[in-house]
Amino acid sequence: MAKHPLASLRESIGASHPSYARLLADTHEKLGYGHMAARREKVSRWESGRTVPELTAQLAIAHLHRVPAREVTRLGWPAWVESATEDTTGLLALPWTRAGATDALHEGSRLGSGAAPRRLALTGPFARTFVEQWRATVADGGSVPARKERPPVLPASPPSSPPTGAGSGRHAGTDSLNWARARVESLETMAGTVGPDILYPAARSDLSLLATVLSAADDRASDTELLSLAARTASLCAGLTIGLGDSVTAERYYLVAARTAAVAGQRELSAACLRGVAYSHLLKGESSEVVLLVDTALSVVSTRPSLSTSGKFPTLPFLPVEALVERPQYGWPKGGERYA
């Protein structure tokens, strides 16, 4: 039997039936709809499909998950719940493990190939749950061992295509790592001079390939390196989509990058990507979660992030923020907010 979308929505914030019932009852009362009994049986009946919540209960659920009230009346039950889950639970419900990070990368590689997400994913309870899970993963140092050896130094000119066998076998060797690192560094360098409309398709393609390599390889010694490169690529995709004016898709990429870097034990990179999530929220005009995200990111880094030369927002590693401000000919954003 297929899971009800309300169950997916509830589980994505880590709430049990009793805790979700209490949360909804509190929200219902705060919204001025009056008292609602906080019974777990009520939530269970909704999720079983036996009963439909009253309109005020639906509005409380929608408010809790930051779904506009107009969507509740426009789509009806349970279509509006399905709409709320399609953009969020698939990515946010993944485990903070190598497998979960790889699945997140596959989710990220599909961004840009279909309809763009319609709303920010990390809002309300989703944000608090994600932050708690992120803190725990970063505190544990990730879920994969660090590499004991670094690959040889890269050649000056990176190859334009993966080496023979990259992603086709069960071993991600030095050649694959060298190729992947060269590609990431090349794209990062070009991001300062080439428009996002040109670079974004290449970055998306590389992200898809890295996800495939990680899925195929059983060489755990290369995991940290591959995951770090994939996180950098996802972060680059985020910056490029911001340049293309799509901060909602950028948020998804930053979420993928933050998770992947955290699992790899790259806390500085992961924290930078978490700040990227906050920045994408600011660009969307949604500031509710920004302080939580930025404070969480700053709590684990050794030094506070520097500001760009414009003094408007922090420089993220692997993302030329100055270029995002000063290249209006490509439609890149002209301003932002200072993180204090």
Q: By CB neighbour count within 10 A (0-12 exposed, 13-18 middle, 19+ buried), where does 329 fall?
A: exposed
* Whether residues 54 and 171 fall in one domain: no
What's the longest Cα–Cα distance across the chain?
A: 68
Please give the pLDDT value at position 239: 93
Q: Which residues pair with 314 in a beta bridge?
A: 307
Give residue 147's Cα distance to chain centre.
25
Q: By CB neighbour count within 10 A (0-12 exposed, 13-18 middle, 19+ buried), where does 330 fall?
A: middle
Between 218 and 77, the more confident residue is: 77
Number of H helices, E strands in the chain: 16, 0
Give dist(CA 185, CA 196) in Å, integer: 16
* Whether residues 28 and 123 fall in one domain: no
Please give the pLDDT value at position 304: 56
Q: What secondary structure does DSSP assign to 44-74, as a single string?
A: HHHHHTSS---HHHHHHHHHHTT--HHHHHH
* Whether residues 57 and 177 fall in one domain: no
Residue 14 has pLDDT above 70, yes or no: yes
Which residues, 6 or more positions from 121, have their beta carbon under 8 angstroms from its beta carbon? 87, 88, 91, 92, 251, 252, 255
Please give the pLDDT value at position 126: 81
* Whether residues 283 and 321 fall in one domain: yes
Q: How many structural domains comprise the chain? A: 2
Which residues, 6 or more positions from 46, have their beta carbon under 8 angstroms from its beta carbon? 4, 6, 52, 53
Instruction: Provide, rounded to the nearest whole percent, the portion of the chain with pLDDT above 70.
Output: 76
Give dist(CA 228, CA 235) in Å, integer: 10
Residue 232 has pLDDT above 90, yes or no: yes
Instruction: Provide, rounded to the nearest whole percent, the portion of the chain with pLDDT above 90.
Output: 50
Cβ atoms of 137 and 96 within 8 Å: the answer is: yes
Consecutive H or E run containing 296: helix 290-298
Which residues, 6 or more positions from 337, have their beta carbon under 8 angstroms from its beta carbon? 282, 312, 313
The answer for 215, left when phi > 0, alpha when psi is -120 to 50, beta otherwise, is: alpha
For residue range 284-332, list pLDDT tens digits in order: 988 889 999 999 999 887 665 543 333 333 334 434 333 333 333 333 3
Between 224 and 338, the more confident residue is: 224
For residue range 155-209, list pLDDT tens digits in order: 334 444 454 444 444 445 677 788 889 999 999 999 888 999 999 999 999 999 9
- Of 86, 115, 146, the position where a domain reaches its end is 86
Residues comprising the chain, all counted: 340
* Whether residues 109 and 249 fall in one domain: yes
Six-digit token pair at 36? 């609602």
* Whether residues 280 and 315 fall in one domain: yes
For residue range 128-138, list pLDDT tens digits in order: 889 999 999 99
- Of 51, 86, 121, the position where a domain reaches its end is 86
* Whether residues 162 and 257 fall in one domain: yes
What sign results for the dihedral spanned by CA atoms 326, 207, 161, 113?
A: negative
For residue range 101-137, list pLDDT tens digits in order: 999 999 999 998 877 787 888 887 788 889 999 999 9
Q: 3-state SS of 95-140?
A: CCCHHHHHHHHHHHHHCCCCCCCCCCCCCCHHHHHHHHHHHHHHHC
* Whether residues 61 and 172 fall in one domain: no
Consecutive H or E run containing 259: helix 247-263
For residue range 254-287, list pLDDT tens digits in order: 999 999 999 999 999 999 999 999 999 999 988 8
Q: Is the peptide bond before 78 cis (omega within 30 degrees of 0)?
A: yes
- Of 52, 86, 120, the position where a domain reaches its end is 86
* Whether residues 58 and 121 fall in one domain: no
> Domain limits at 246?
90-330
The answer for 315, left when phi > 0, alpha when psi is -120 to 50, beta otherwise, is: beta
Comparing C-alpha atoms, which of 213, 208, 237 is closest to residue 226?
A: 213
Look over the chain and give the mean of its residue pLDDT values, rounded to a whole number. Answer: 80
